[in-house]
């Protein structure tokens, strides 16, 4: 990075280290999740965020603590960044009583409403109007919260996305739609699923400001995020951003043959812009990191994730009587088969 | 104190009272504001509460229900009008897969105080795509509450309870009821509990079980059967989910005969569920198999003579009663 660019870094050394540690922590947490899945300790569907860390870390680190966040099923990173107890996250992923939803949700349905994290949804595109509804609620009550509404490039084709954009534009909802374009809707490359692959243009027909941004260089992500969040908060208006990132892992933990949709060469090429490596480079240039420290952090994170896993693995499964809890807020459903 | 008013006005008045009572209550729907509502249930509300609380929406049901669900999760109390419940088919994913499951999937962190209301069932020659009875579809879904009142008082009491409830509620209004008049309590806190059926007419020989407009059809049939000396009890279910089997069973145990009447397609409709439960729970008390009268299993036709053929009437009910022997 040029000296000029380095001087533009507004983050303090302590902040940079915190952000770096978050990304490394997510990487190791997610690797553990894949492992947990392969060991048969987690079931269902499980989707990790490996390779995409700079997007969530960058955007969420620019929020105010009372803002709202909602996403689809690739949802482990967000609560980790927001400070949710990682043991509760791992417990939920492993279907344990100590999980965020006491084992009712699983990997795809993590929630921490106290921290503004509204999940965690499994139907592609289905959560997008919910996110706009959070923003609607803020606006209705006269609050200046902003909602980050994450979606993948696959969800950008969903009909309900267009409906939601229309209402967000119509009612000026302070909602930022962040299309994480990792180039694949599951195993279908963007050229095969989108008539126009410049997804940021989805905002245009609805009079919503829109642009395409990088999602791999954390410091650039944060610059863009600050600017756009400030705009949406002060103007109380929506925004559509297409963030270009890439997942280094499969679509889900059960995605066993990635060669069906991409080559190893392509993956290696993408890894040249590994968000962790990009930040490492800057921090080394700033004398904030060296090989020794990188290794120490790495080791610390591996141990920490192992500790989290072991606590979760020792935690009890839900009591079978809990199956009836939380169907309704004020009554039990009918019982029995 | 009570005032006489139509079913439509009972709903309208309750909405106004609840909007005045709680600033978090607001309305969303297609043509409900400036246009005054297709069935005029929301007439005058736009002028009264302005566009911040009476939102004319685009014609995009999934988006409307989704935004309302999100708003409900942060403390608002949206009332969504479906222009007809038939259109809620477009929003099934939002209703079933999002609103109904949010409380469960979050382990109780999120609540969704949402009311989805609108005309359900046949109106007058609206034909195949606008005449669905959706209540049985929704009563299948854990996490939803489903009510289908038949009188202005029940509409007022159940709607207020629905708006104040912290769970998503489907509130269905048969369009044939909008003009029906009745007494409505003036108490601003008048609510009726979910899961409580009503004895609409007392009798000793046979129980007719129905909800929504079919209660009136059953009352008419009962009136005619009384002339022949057959004493018919009519149970108005009112609340499909939760369902008050206790009241239904008590009636059947008294009369030993039951016919379930519903406007929805006969096959797989909610009446089949009630009939099955009576069979399970009152087998020893029954003198005959539980009878069932439902809508014809065809898409709703346009021609009035064909449409009337599809919707159960008092003669269909009387014929089913006679079949019991």
Distance CA A250, CA A291 (A): 29
Which among A123, A128, A166 has CB closest to B97? A123
With beta carbons under 8 A apart, name residues in chain B contacting A326.
103-104, 106-108
CB B13 within 8 A of CB B184: yes
- ipTM for the assembly: 0.96
Annotated catalytic residue, options B18, B30, B103, B130? B130
Residue A169 has pLDDT above 70, yes or no: yes
Q: Inform me whether the C-beta atom of residue B77 falls under 8 Å from chain A C-beta atoms.
A: no
List Cβ neighbours of B237 (8 Å cut-off, separation of 6 or more).
B148, B197, B209, B210, B211, B243, B244, B248, B274
A66-85 per-position pLDDT tens digit: 999 999 999 999 999 999 99
Sketch out chain A's domains with CATH numbers.
3-315 (3.40.50.970)
Residue A132 with chain B: CB contacts under 8 Å: 63, 66-67, 70
Is the CB of B98 inside 8 Å of chain A's CB atoms?
Answer: yes
- CB-based contact A119 B58, cutoff 8 Å: no
Catalytic choice (B18, B30, B61, B81): B61
**The domain made up of B198-323 is a member of CATH 3.30.565.10:** no
Nearest residue, CB atoms, B107 vs list A105, A118, A333:
A105
- Which residues neighbour A51 within 8 Å (Cβ) at sequence distance 6 or greater? A182, A245, A246, A247, A248, A249, A270, A271, A274, A275
Q: What is the DSSP letter of B284?
A: G
**CATH H-level, domain B2-185: superfamily:** Thiamin diphosphate (ThDP)-binding fold, Pyr/PP domains (3.40.50.970)
Cα distance from A131 to chain B (closest Cα, Å)?
A: 6
For residue A255, what pLDDT is reported?
A: 83
pLDDT, position A3? 52
Res A256: pLDDT: 80
User: Which pLDDT score, from 0 to 100, does residue A63 have?
Assistant: 98
Cross-chain residue pair B63–A166, CB shorter than 8 Å = yes
Interface test with B, best of A146, A328, A331, A336 (most B CBs within 10 A): A328
Range A107-123 average pLDDT:
97
Provide the shortest C-alpha distance from residue B224 to chain A (in Å).
37
Q: What is the pTM of this model?
A: 0.97
Q: Closest partner residue to A119 among B60, B106, B142, by Cβ?
A: B106
**CB proximity A40 to B under 8 Å:** no
Whether A329 shows a pLDDT value over 80: the answer reads yes
Q: Sorting pLDDT into bands at 50, 70 and 90, what band is A1?
A: very low
Domain-by-domain residue ranges, chain B? 2-185, 198-323
Q: What is the pLDDT along chain B (325 residues), one digit of tens a residue?
A: 899 999 999 999 999 999 999 999 999 999 999 999 999 999 999 999 999 999 999 999 999 999 999 999 999 999 999 999 999 999 999 999 999 999 999 999 999 999 999 999 999 999 999 999 999 999 999 999 999 999 999 999 999 999 999 999 999 999 999 999 999 999 999 999 999 999 999 999 999 999 999 999 999 999 999 999 999 999 999 999 999 999 999 999 999 999 999 999 999 999 999 999 999 999 999 999 999 999 999 999 999 999 999 999 999 999 999 999 7
Tokens describing residue B7: 């079913």
pLDDT tens digits, one per residue of A295-308: 999 999 999 999 99
Token pair 């009554």 is at which residue?
A: A331
**H helices present in B31-175, as ranges:** 45-53, 61-73, 92, 102-105, 135-138, 152-164
* pLDDT exceeds cutoff 60 at A254: yes
Contact B87, B134 (CB under 8 A): no
Q: Does A130 touch chain B (CB under 8 A)?
A: yes
């Amino acid at each position: 990075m040029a000296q000029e660019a380095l001087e533009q870094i507004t983050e303090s050394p302590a902040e940079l280290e915190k952000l770096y540690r978050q990304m490394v922590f997510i990487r190791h947490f997610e690797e553990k999740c894949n492992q947990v899945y392969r060991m048969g300790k987690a079931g269902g569907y499980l989707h990790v965020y490996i390779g995409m860390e700079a997007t969530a870390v960058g955007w969420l680190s620019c929020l105010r603590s009372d803002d709202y966040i909602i996403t689809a099923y690739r949802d482990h990173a967000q609560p980790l960044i927001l400070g949710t107890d990682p043991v509760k996250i791992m417990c939920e992923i492993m279907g344990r009583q100590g999980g965020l939803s006491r084992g009712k949700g699983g990997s795809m349905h993590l929630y921490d409403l106290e921290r503004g994290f509204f999940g965690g949804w499994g139907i592609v595109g289905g959560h997008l109007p919910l996110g706009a509804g959070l923003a609607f609620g803020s606006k209705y009550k006269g609050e200046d919260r902003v909602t980050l509404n994450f979606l993948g490039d696959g969800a950008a084709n969903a009909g309900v996305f267009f409906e939601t954009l229309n209402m967000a534009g119509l009612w000026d909802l302070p909602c930022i739609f962040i299309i994480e374009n990792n180039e694949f809707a599951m195993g279908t490359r963007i050229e095969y699923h989108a008539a126009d692959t410049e997804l940021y243009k989805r905002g245009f027909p609805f009079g919503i400001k829109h642009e395409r941004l990088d999602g791999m260089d954390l410091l650039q992500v944060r610059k863009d995020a600050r600017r756009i969040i400030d705009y949406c908060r002060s103007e109380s208006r929506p925004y559509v951003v297409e963030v270009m990132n890439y997942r280094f892992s499969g679509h889900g933990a059960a995605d066993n043959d990635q060669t069906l949709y991409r080559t190893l060469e392509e993956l290696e090429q993408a890894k040249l812009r590994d968000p962790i490596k990009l930040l490492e480079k800057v921090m080394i240039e700033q004398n904030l990191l060296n090989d020794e420290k990188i290794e120490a952090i790495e080791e610390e994170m591996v141990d920490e994730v192992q500790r989290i896993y072991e606590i979760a693995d020792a935690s009890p499964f839900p009591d079978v009587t809990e199956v009836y809890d939380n169907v309704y807020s004020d009554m039990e459903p009918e019982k029995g088969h | 104190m009570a005032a006489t008013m139509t079913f439509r006005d009972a709903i309208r008045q309750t909405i106004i009272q609840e909007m005045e009572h709680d600033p978090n209550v607001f309305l969303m729907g297609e043509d409900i504001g400036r246009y005054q509502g297709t069935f005029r249930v929301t007439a005058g509300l736009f002028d009264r509460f302005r566009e911040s609380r009476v939102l004319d929406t685009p014609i995009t049901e999934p988006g409307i229900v989704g935004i309302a669900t999100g708003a409900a999760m942060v403390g608002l109390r949206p009332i969504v009008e479906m222009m007809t419940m038939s259109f809620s088919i477009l929003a099934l994913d939002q209703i079933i897969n999002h609103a109904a499951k949010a409380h469960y999937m979050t382990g109780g962190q999120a609540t969704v105080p949402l009311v989805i209301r609108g005309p359900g069932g046949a109106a007058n020659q609206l034909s195949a795509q606008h005449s669905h009875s959706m209540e049985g579809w929704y009563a299948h879904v854990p996490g939803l509450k489903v009510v289908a009142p038949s009188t202005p008082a029940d509409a007022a009491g159940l709607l207020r309870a629905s708006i104040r409830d912290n769970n998503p509620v489907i509130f269905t209004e048969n369009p044939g009821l909008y003009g029906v008049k009745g007494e409505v309590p003036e108490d601003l806190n008048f609510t009726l509990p979910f899961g409580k059926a009503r004895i609409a007419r007392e009798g000793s020989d046979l129980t007719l079980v129905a909800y929504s407009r079919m209660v009136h059809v059953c009352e008419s049939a009962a009136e005619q059967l009384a002339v022949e000396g057959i004493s018919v009890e009519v149970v108005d279910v009112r609340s499909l989910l939760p369902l008050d089997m206790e009241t239904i069973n008590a009636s059947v145990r008294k009369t030993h005969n039951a016919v379930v009447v519903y406007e929805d397609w006969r096959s797989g409709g909610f009446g089949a569920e009630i009939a099955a439960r009576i069979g399970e729970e009152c087998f020893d008390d029954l003198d005959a198999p539980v009878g069932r009268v439902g809508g014809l299993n065809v898409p709703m036709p346009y021609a009035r003579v064909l449409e009337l053929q599809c919707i159960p009437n008092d003669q269909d009910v009387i014929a089913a009663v006679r079949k019991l022997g």
